[in-house]
Structure 1
Amino acid sequence: MMESMFLALMFTCLNPTVLLAAQTQLIGSHQPIVALVGDDVLLPCHLEPAVSATYETVVWSKAALEPKYVHHKDGRLLFEKQDPSYFLRTRLFMDELQRGNVSMKISKVELSDAGTYKCSLPAMKKEAEVELIVGTSKR
């Protein structure tokens, strides 16, 4: 029993991925993001220090939605888990995931998109929030 506990502890201490995940923070935006109806908007979220999220499940959700997922990537985008109002309007930048950038773009912003979004990496037990404020232009 002691030997297996020792080996588990050694693996955890010597495994750089485990150590990096423990020391890494997921950072959203400290300031609200402002967009106008019809604009495309970027909701920032990244790992600091930069650690690859290429093989991580990335989840963007918004409270009071059912289903609650705005974007759910688990190797590929899972449309069946996505709220229909965001269908084909969200994307991650796949080439940026290796640098820890899990920011999400929302295309053609709608008034109903306003609110607080949660960016999370469930396997790393990391999450961050980003508030989106949506306005209308006076034309």
Structure 2
Amino acid sequence: MVRSRHLRLLLLPVLWSHALENTTNVSHRQVAPLVGEDCELPCLIDSSAKVLVLQWSRPDLDDIGYLLFYRHPRVRTHYQHPDFRARVQLQDPGLDHGDLSLVLKNVTRNDTATYECRLLLENEVSRTTTVQLTVRDVKRWSEEAVSGVRGHLLLPVTALLLPLLIMMMMIVRVVVLKRHLTQPGLGLRH
């Protein structure tokens, strides 16, 4: 009895994954937090829908575990990937308001990946939301922002400074020419 229960627990995520592969609705999102921030991976449904199974996963981690695995009526922590223990929580833990978004705490560059929110609803509809998470490094992001500003300011600054430079060169030339012509023995005198 204990052995068959243990076997069912081990096979449960595999069976649900197979059932969720034939999704009817798919949506895609992008999220771009900075290193060290908490971020929300969005996954929304109609608030009246009843969730039977919810899987937050990262396909590149293969079958090592899930970020979060929920089977009605609770989250199953023994299926959780070790890298995400104590780092994830549902935005709405009771799943009462249609917000199945996952909060990922203290993101690092290693968290940059594609995430999937797969769910099976009571009316046998399955859905997948794919979220592309790109974690930005503060230093790299600020350097890119500054270089972008420099590139955008180059043309207007050049357009303003070039006429001023030409005018200054003309003034200097007139002053030099006037001094040269007013020197004794070189021509014009006052």
TM-score under structure 2 length normalisation? 0.52
Q: Are residue 72 (structure 1) and residue 69 (structure 2) matched?
A: yes
Superposed CA RMSD: 2.2
If asked which structure has higher relative contact order (CA below 8 Å, sep 6+), I would say: 1
Structure that is richer in strand per residue:
1
3-state SS, counterpart of residue 135 of structure 1: coil
Matched with 1:33 is: 31
Compute the displacement of 1:80 (Å): 1.7
Question: One-letter code of the match for 1:84?
Answer: P
**What is the identity percentage for the equivalent residue pairs of Structure 1 and Structure 2?**
27
- For residues 39-60 of structure 1, the C-alpha deviation after alignment (integer angstroms, 9 at most, x for no partner) is 000011111x43334x522110
3-state SS, counterpart of residue 83 of structure 2: helix
Structure that is richer in helix per residue:
2
Compute the displacement of 1:25 (Å): 5.1
Q: Is the 8 A contact 1:27 1:46 kept in 2?
A: no
Question: One-letter code of the match for 2:54?
Answer: V
Q: Is the 8 A contact 1:36 1:134 kept in 2?
A: yes
Q: Is the 8 A contact 1:28 1:44 kept in 2?
A: no
The one of 56, 60, 63 aligned to 2:59: 63
Compute the displacement of 1:126 (Å): 1.3
* Structure with greater Cα Rg: 2
- For residues 59-94 of structure 1, the C-alpha deviation after alignment (integer angstroms, 9 at most, x for no partner) is 100012142411112232222211100001111122
Q: Is the 8 A contact 2:69 2:76 kept in 1?
A: yes
Structure 1's unaligned 5+ residue stretches are 1-23
Q: Are residue 130 (structure 1) and residue 131 (structure 2) matched?
A: yes
Matched with 1:51 is: 48
Q: Is the 8 A contact 1:28 1:45 kept in 2?
A: no
Q: Is the 8 A contact 1:28 1:119 kept in 2?
A: no
* Separation in 2, partners of 1:28, 1:57: 20
Matched with 2:8 is: none
Q: Is the 8 A contact 1:36 1:137 kept in 2?
A: yes
* Separation in 2, partners of 1:25, 1:51: 17
Structure 2's unaligned 5+ residue stretches are 1-23, 143-190
* Separation in 2, partners of 1:40, 1:119: 18
3-state SS, counterpart of residue 64 of structure 1: helix
